[in-house]
Amino acid sequence: MRVVVSGASGLVGRALVPALAGAGHSVLRLGRGPAGHEASTVSWDPATGAIDTAALAGVEAAVHLAGENIAARRWTPAHKVRVRESRVQGTRLLATSLARLEPPPQVLVCASASGYYGDRGDEVLREESAPGEGFLARVCGEWEAAADPARARGIRVVHLRLGIVLDPAGGALARMLPLFRAGLGAPLGSGRQYWPWITRDDLASIICFALASPLAGAVNAVAPEAVTNRDWSRTLARVLGRPLLPPVPGFALRIALGEMAGMLLASQRLLPAQLAAAGYPFRAPRLEPALRALLGKLT
């Protein structure tokens, strides 16, 4: 298919684009550069509502990954506005533009997040589980609803509710590695909170799977092994052969990080029910082998 991808230069996009090409698809990138500065780039600017709709003609599928980095800085009021608007405005602009095409594309795969469910303790969360409360839950709900114009046009829409995307090249794992390699890693808060996760390569494969399969609606894009933050921390320390320090108290995280600490202390025990029912073959279903492979410590 001819697939347009937003966020192609991000952590996930850098793995997705070659995966799409390897599956035989041709890729157009949504970018903020001037129109036509690259033959494979479609110009857009979600902040102003500008998009080169004509360049989207003939697109058969779309993958929307773009959005402000949630963990880039403290959650000041201004940053929270940027996080929300980058997701909601970008999704609405793309969904509306795709809906105006004749014929419209077959499928739109949008990133969402496990934050949709809020802080839920030990509750097993399937795709039909109710939304949670808090800033991220509200943002995720609006983010997913922003794709309604595409849905109303008959485009199959998939919302991938992502856990922590694991890759040493970026994201949460890259930030944690220096501390754990120095023997300064530790569980956070009680350590009993569940941290859903997925490897970057598995996520790229899941997106390709979603384009070709009949999946629709919410999809928990997480590995089937649910682990707590305590187990996650112990596993990473063991893989690196380093000690693990006592837990960092939750109050200390809140002092250091402010409201953003709630993202690290929230518990989300996601089950990838839709992917399991559709027969998706996980490449990395368990955390320890996944970390060993990612960090080049195969055993």
pTM across the whole model: 0.94
Domain edges within the chain = 2-166+195-227+269-284
Residue 115 C-beta-side C-alpha neighbours within 13 Å = 23
Q: What is the distance between the terminal CA atoms of the chain, rounded to a whole angstrom?
A: 38
Burial 203-230 (b: 16+ CB within 10 A, else e): bbbbbbbbbebebeebbbbbbebbbbbb
pLDDT digits (tens, 9 = 90+) for 42-69: 999 998 999 999 999 999 999 999 988 8
DSSP class of residue 102 equals: S
Question: What's the token pair of residue 177?
Answer: 């590695």
**How sure is the predictor about 299, in pLDDT bands with cuts at 50, 70 and 90?**
very low
Cβ neighbourhood burial of 8 (10 Å; 0-12, 13-18, 19+) = buried
At 37, the pLDDT band (50, 70, 90 cuts) reads very low
Give residue 41's pLDDT.
87
Tens of pLDDT, residues 239-268: 999 999 999 999 999 999 999 999 999 999
- Does the structure show a pLDDT above 80 at 39? no
CATH number of 2-166+195-227+269-284: 3.40.50.720
Beta bridge partners of 63: 5, 109
Q: What is the pLDDT of residues 161-207, one digit of tens each?
A: 999 999 999 999 999 999 999 999 999 999 999 999 999 999 999 99
